[in-house]
Amino acid sequence: MEIKGTSAIVTGGASGLGEATARMLAERGARVVVADLQDDKGEQVASEIGGIFAHVDVTRTDEIIAAVEAAREMGPISSLVNCAGIGWAQRTVGRDGTYESAANLEAFVRVININLIGTFDCIRLAATAMSTNEPDADGCRGAIVNTASVAAFDGQIGQASYSASKGGIVGMTLPVARDLAAIGVRVNTIAPGLIDTPIYGEGEASEAFKAKLGASVLFPHRLGHPEEFASMALELLTNSYMNAETIRVDGGIRMPPK
């Protein structure tokens, strides 16, 4: 699928995996909507890549629609990459035997709302816009890449909500791809492992922590680079025979219980 001259939306595009993906899409000739909650960072990234910024909370349908419409104004929207998401860790049951110490149910629901339901809302709305595109020689009108996590398969202690949200993304990849085949839109998912993003902080202590984490990766013994995620996202968007697949980009790591 050709992306040059088309528009794309990257949720969570102001930093980390989303920023790297937005930059790579722009380098390939796409006009990118950087959709994020971080206004300052999002505006800066959008300015640097010749795209536009859209303030988007993926739990707000109206804000997603506004981003989709902004993309359509720049050209036919052919790409959506869902990178927006949050993490959360808490054991299911507390140590004192009280109901109050059990896992925070509101936090569980919030993670599901952002990571899973937010992803689906972006898919259904962007795909609706894609359905109006002229198809290419393969009949393709667009492509979507979602972000899961190795936690979907190797969830660690305390990751029930996060793993459930990412497992849901993996689980819906095939049925959504089957749904969207009718309009010529492909759907794939990336399950990244330990990627070096701002979540790990900066400084000597941070570098030492990242080095320790990297040593547990099968090979190479380091954290992944955001550009390695972005490269896979770009391949899934442009390779017209990639569909309904979940691919781990993780250096071969298999996460231990904790």
For the stretch 223-243, pLDDT in tens is 999 999 999 999 999 999 999
Phi-psi region of 158 (alpha: psi -120 to 50; beta: other; left: phi over 0): left
Residue 110 has pLDDT above 80, yes or no: yes
What are the structural domains of the chain?
7-249 (3.40.50.720)
β-strand 7-11 against 142-147: which pairing, if any? unpaired
Higher-confidence position of 200 and 25: 25
pLDDT digits (tens, 9 = 90+) for 186-208: 999 999 999 998 777 778 888 88
pLDDT for res 34: 98
Alpha helices in 131-225 (DSSP H): 151-154, 160-180, 204-214
pLDDT at 136 over 80: yes
Is pLDDT above 90 for 209?
no
| Percentage above 70 pLDDT, the chain | 100
Average pLDDT, the chain: 96
Exactly one of 99, 162, 200, 241 is catalytic; name it. Answer: 162
Task: Take residue 37 and report the two structure tokens written for it.
Answer: 């909650």
The predicted structure's pLDDT at residue 198? 79
pLDDT of the residue at 21: 98
Distances (CA, A) of 101 to 37, 91, 94, 98, 164: 31, 9, 5, 6, 21
Q: Cα separation of 153 and 248, whole Å?
A: 10
| Dist. CA 117–CA 50, nearest whole Å | 30
Looking at residue 30, its pLDDT comes to 98
Say if CB 61 and CB 113 are below 8 A apart. no
> What is the per-residue pLDDT across 57-94, written as a single tens digit (0 to 9) for each?
999 999 999 999 999 999 999 999 999 999 999 999 99
Asked whether the beta carbons of 22 and 3 are under 8 A apart, the reply is no
Question: What per-residue confidence (pLDDT) applies to 179?
Answer: 98
pLDDT at 137 over 80: yes
Position 162, amino acid: Y
Instruction: Give me 163's structure tokens.
Output: 């793993």
Query: Which pLDDT value is given to residue 41?
Result: 98
Closest CA relative to residue 79, chosen from 173, 4, 144, 13: 144
- What is the Cα–Cα distance from 168 to 124, expressed in whole angstroms? 15
Task: Work out the average pLDDT over 132-153.
Answer: 98
Average pLDDT on 100-116 reads: 98
Residue 99 annotated in active site: no
Amino acid at 248: R
Instruction: Quickly state the pLDDT bin for 152 (edges 50, 70, 90).
Output: very high
